[in-house]
Amino acid sequence: MRRDQIAVDRQANLVPASGTPNALALVAPPTPRQLSVEAVQGAALGDAYAALGRLQGAVAHIPNVEMVTRTLARREAVKSSQIEGTRSNLSELLTYEATRGERGLPPDVKVTERYVLALQHGLERIREGGRAALDLRLIDALHALLMQDETTRLPVGAYRTEQVWIGTSSRIEDAAFVPAPPADVPRCMEEFEGAILQYAPREDEQGELTLLAQMAIAHAQFETIHPYQDGNGRTGRLLFPLLLAAEGYPPLYLSGALLRAKTEYYEALASVQLRGQWAPWLRLLSRAIVESCNESVSIAQDLAAMAERWEKSLERYRAHSATRRLPRFLLGHPVLSVQQAVEGLGVSQPAANAALNNLHAAGIVQLVNERRWGRVFQATEILERLDQPPS
């Protein structure tokens, strides 16, 4: 990284890169406690808050919304992992969860499944402890869950011990960005925790950071520090749903919108890191929130209507039978094993088998490669809806 890549007011934070004195690294400046009026005014934050309000209102009227959000969490895991280059898709992740078998699936499906575990853990901690739970111990725990299969290759749940850089070149001198040397990471992370993870307005500050400004700052500052050897992008994107959950918002996942704007996303973060310019990142984040809210509401409404239509087609079965209850359960388990139906519906194996056979006969579910996976079914209509690009 060259000195002329960095804005003049950030050059004081340049230091020799660890192990490579002829290369420069940027120690993250202190976490911002306010953003410029110009950056905020041009970001359409009002549109983003309006979209969050619509999401809250819609969620309150969608039956079995926890099943829909379960599936959307897995969709988020796929999209966030795909930003980093993984290739497994939602159907493959759900098949892996239903069968616990990797044969015939992309090797990175386990990587994606680890994101689900980390997200679930983070949301549970936030539900239990609120914003106070969002601390460095939780961030380390999330990273450890994400990277649990990499323990022989790199530090997991612990800060990096080597200099890293970002870019396509194998030479650090040609890197697009070189974050702080390892020795500076603990201090930067402690400052990050106090300034934004555990944010509270101070008496000597003019105004309070809005939640969306906190989200923008938290993610960009985390990526600037780049505390881990690997997995920083996925860990940093987990901050979005956790911050929203801590403030009482329903689950909202942004990685689909960020994946569609991947180049712009990386360029916006680079504008913050190299030049301290927040406007492009705030604009993109606001747009991603609006897109993601609209998409979540549309998907939730479509899936609820789908389940209602299926239930009507099964009215000849008893109202509380496994057959009649299964359509709603499918919203959270679009790929489903018999055992998952047993556990989820609280019925016997024969009852679960019979219910799945009834839905199969009605064309609601189809068998997934029975020779390889046994009796595993998928609701193809749900998966096709989840794969539709936003309108």
The structure tokens listed for 108 are 């990175």
pLDDT score at 372: 66
- The answer to whether the annotation marks 237 as part of a ligand binding site is yes
- The answer to whether the annotation marks 204 as part of a ligand binding site is no
Q: Which fold has domain 314-386?
A: Arc Repressor Mutant, subunit A (1.10.10)
Give every CB contact of residue 212 below 8 A, 6+ residues apart in sequence.
45, 48, 49, 282, 285, 286, 289
* Domain limits, the chain: 3-66+102-298, 314-386
Whether residue 383 contacts residue 354, with contact meaning beta carbons closer than 8 Å, is answered with no
Sign of CA dihedral 156, 158, 163, 166: positive
- The answer to whether the annotation marks 84 as part of a ligand binding site is yes
- The answer to whether the annotation marks 127 as part of a ligand binding site is no
**Tens digit of pLDDT for each residue in 193-229?**
999 999 999 988 888 999 999 999 999 999 999 999 9
Whether residue 209 contacts residue 34, with contact meaning beta carbons closer than 8 Å, is answered with yes
219 is catalytic: no
Q: What are phi and psi of 179, to 5 degrees?
A: -75, 180
Give every CB contact of residue 63 below 8 A, 6+ residues apart in sequence.
304, 328
- The answer to whether the annotation marks 233 as part of a ligand binding site is yes
**Tens digit of pLDDT for each residue in 135-180?**
999 999 999 999 998 887 888 999 999 999 998 888 998 899 999 9
CA–CA gap between residue 309 and residue 358 (Å, rounded): 15
Q: What is the CATH number of domain 3-66+102-298?
A: 1.10.3290.10
| Catalytic entry in 219, 226, 320, 333 | 226
Candidates 222, 243, 246, 88; CA nearest to 254 is 243
Whether residue 74 contacts residue 93, with contact meaning beta carbons closer than 8 Å, is answered with yes
**Tens digit of pLDDT for each residue in 355-365?**
999 999 999 99
Whether residue 207 contacts residue 34, with contact meaning beta carbons closer than 8 Å, is answered with yes
**pTM, to two decimals:** 0.95
pLDDT score at 370: 67
Tens digit of each residue's pLDDT, the chain (391 residues):
778 889 998 999 999 999 887 899 999 999 999 998 888 888 889 999 999 999 999 998 888 899 999 999 999 999 999 999 999 999 999 999 998 876 778 889 999 999 999 999 999 999 999 999 999 999 999 999 999 988 878 889 999 999 999 988 889 988 999 999 999 999 999 999 999 999 999 988 888 999 999 999 999 999 999 999 999 999 999 999 999 999 999 999 999 999 999 999 999 999 999 999 999 999 999 999 999 999 999 999 999 999 999 999 999 999 999 999 999 999 999 999 999 999 999 999 999 999 999 999 999 999 987 666 678 999 999 999 999 988 7
- The answer to whether the annotation marks 61 as part of a ligand binding site is no
Tell me the CA end-to-end span of the chain in Å, nearest whole number.
Answer: 40
